[in-house]
């Protein structure tokens, strides 16, 4: 097989050295990858910071794009389809990390504000894909009631088990967003959304910043309970006024677990390998760092709020990430690229 050329985001972990026996590999900062860099490249291995559209891809030889992320809003699928470019994303790779973030944030902010969480409370999940399902699983494990809003899934599977967005917002103590960013979700959390939300509700966004109209959120904060924001409009140039107003502000790292990064890289490598017929990498999984970084198995059933809070904060002290961003919001990209991946939790 002829050697191929791959251009990869240098910040993708566990990748260096993997393709080199079979390909020529250039590592470039994801935000700086240009048409010149990829003119004679066969494949791109990227994260969300590389915008794959006509301005980047025209005149290049790229036939494969693998993104080591769940999200795909940085990729122009229409252009890729028209030009025969295969696109692969790492579906579900960081679902466990986001679930861990949501519950560490939920219990952490409740503790700081002396708010009681009850098993009668309802967690409303907007978007019930890979991530939303993991959040639902943990919520039910702890004992919460759950409402689910996911119109595309409801259309495919039937309405049973799903509800309208209006009903969810009016009846949920916690509202957590896990939608992709597309034409149906951009600006979804707008003034009307926050007018419908239950007063005092927790609001959590770990999906995409542009799902939320930030001015509408800022106007609504006085009526809301704790507000937890990991994804922002205009990253990395985020709204520092909003940072000061919310209870937890983090630099788009909800999914930055050790296992999530292993999964994302494995998925991307396997996809590129299959596209180009690199058989030794069809089942590639990064070696990792041994048993000390294996997921932590928890059984939270029957624990009281203080016990659950203590266990979750011990495994992921989320306020450290919040503190680091508040100290210097301009360090958003550096905090992401230098993040020390945390060990995931799982139930059972």
Catalytic residue positions, numbered? 208, 235, 252
Contact 104, 202 (CB under 8 A): no
Cβ-in-10-Å burial (0-12, 13-18, 19+) of 328 comes to exposed
Pairing of strands 174-177, 4-9: unpaired
Strand order in the sheet with 248-249: 145-149, 122-126, 174-177, 202-205, 227-229, 248-249
Spell out the alpha helix ranges (H) of the chain: 35-38, 54-57, 77-82, 95-112, 130-142, 151-157, 165-171, 191-196, 214-220, 240-245, 258-276, 305-315, 318-327, 332-337
Q: Give yes or no for a contact between 120 and 134, defined as CB atoms under 8 angstroms apart.
A: no
Q: Tell me if 312 sits within 8 A of 301, measured CB to CB.
A: no
In 3D space, the residue among 105, 99, 107 whose CA is nearest the CA of residue 125 turns out to be 99
Task: Kindly state the tokens that stand for 244.
Answer: 């000061």
Specify which residues 248 forms β-bridges with: 228
Q: Give the residues across from 202 on adjacent strands.
A: 174
What is residue 117's three-state secondary structure?
coil
Looking only at the bridges linking them, the beta strands covering 23-28 and 227-229 are unpaired
Residue whose tokens read 């609504």: 220
d(CA 272, CA 280): 12
Residue indicated by tokens 């790779």: 93
């Amino acid at each position: 097989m002829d050697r191929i050329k791959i251009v990869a985001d240098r910040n993708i972990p566990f990748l260096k050295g993997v393709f080199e026996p079979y390909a020529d590999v250039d590592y470039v900062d994801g935000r700086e990858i240009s048409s010149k860099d990829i003119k004679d490249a066969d494949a791109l291995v990227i994260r969300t910071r590389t915008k794959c559209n006509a301005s980047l891809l025209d005149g290049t030889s790229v036939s494969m794009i693998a993104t080591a992320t769940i999200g795909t809003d940085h990729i122009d699928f229409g252009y890729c389809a028209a030009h025969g470019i295969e696109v692969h994303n790492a579906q579900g790779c960081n679902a466990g990390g986001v679930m861990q973030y949501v519950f560490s944030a939920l219990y952490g902010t409740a503790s700081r504000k002396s708010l009681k969480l009850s098993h009668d409370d309802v967690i409303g999940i907007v978007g019930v894909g890979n991530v939303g399902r993991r959040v639902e699983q943990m919520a039910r494990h702890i004992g919460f009631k759950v409402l689910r809003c996911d119109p595309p899934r409801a259309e495919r599977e039937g309405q049973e088990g799903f509800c309208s967005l209006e009903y969810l917002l009016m009846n949920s103590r916690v509202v957590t967003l896990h939608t992709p960013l597309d034409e149906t979700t951009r600006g979804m959390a707008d003034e009307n959304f926050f007018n419908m939300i239950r007063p005092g509700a927790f609001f959590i966004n770990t999906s995409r910043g542009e799902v939320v109209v930030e001015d509408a959120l800022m106007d609504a904060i006085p009526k809301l309970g704790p507000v937890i924001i990991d994804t922002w409009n205009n990253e990395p140039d985020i709204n520092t006024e909003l940072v000061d107003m919310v209870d937890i502000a983090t630099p788009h790292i909800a999914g930055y677990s050790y296992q999530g990064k292993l999964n994302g890289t494995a998925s991307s490598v396997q996809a590129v390998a299959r596209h180009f017929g690199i058989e030794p990498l069809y089942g590639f999984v990064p070696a990792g760092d041994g048993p000390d970084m294996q997921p932590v198995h928890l059984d939270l059933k029957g624990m009281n709020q203080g016990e659950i809070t203590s266990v979750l904060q011990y495994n992921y002290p989320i306020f450290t990430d919040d503190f680091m961003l508040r100290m210097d919001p301009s360090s958003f990209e550096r905090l992401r690229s230098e993040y020390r991946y945390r060990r995931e939790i799982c139930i059972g």
